[in-house]
Amino acid sequence: MAGKQATALAATGSFQGYYGCSFTGYQDTLLADGAGKFQYYSNCYIEGAVDYIYGGASAWFGECTLASNGGGAITANSRKTTTDPSYYVIDSSVITSAVSTSLVNDVYLGRPWFEFARVVFQNSQLPNLINPLGWTTLAAVAEPTFQEFGNTGAGASTSKRVMETALNAAITHQAVLGADYLSWIDDTF
């Protein structure tokens, strides 16, 4: 419901995998949380408007549909220090609108919930919903690592991006989920 905070999933454990799931809400839809916690989301539908993927886990979102039902930031990562392993990677996913009203330039890829937020959008389809600035603010003194690589679509241009750190190659599963990630995820789904 518009204007309401309601978490559909609070994932706070490690070595968790979610496959073909649907999570819908408005604000704070999916909490992917826990320092040092590894989480994997594959072929999921995640809908919301304000910080609808938030928290501090090391989470991989692959082949997902992220559907905005209002203006706001898709992610709000809560990485607190430069040594905190928290990492959100949205890979090979589609960003879309879940409403019939226009959201052109009303959606941001993310904002730092805490000072050292770290989020990557790579190999994904970014439509004209994405604001040309790409990223927006939240933490008072933010030094986030916001990166993009290989994205396509009307919202993929990085020429006006703010708070963006250059990325020369796609991030790997291992960098986010650890060296043994294949022992706990189902990479066939």
Which residues are designated catalytic? 28, 51
What one-character-per-residue DSSP string does 45-95 give?
A: EEEESBS-EEESSEEEEES-EEEESSSEEEEEE---STT---EEEEES-EE
176's enclosing H/E stretch is helix 173-177
Handedness of CA 74, 77, 82, 85 (dihedral sign): negative
Q: Are 148 and 160 in contact (CB under 8 A)?
A: no
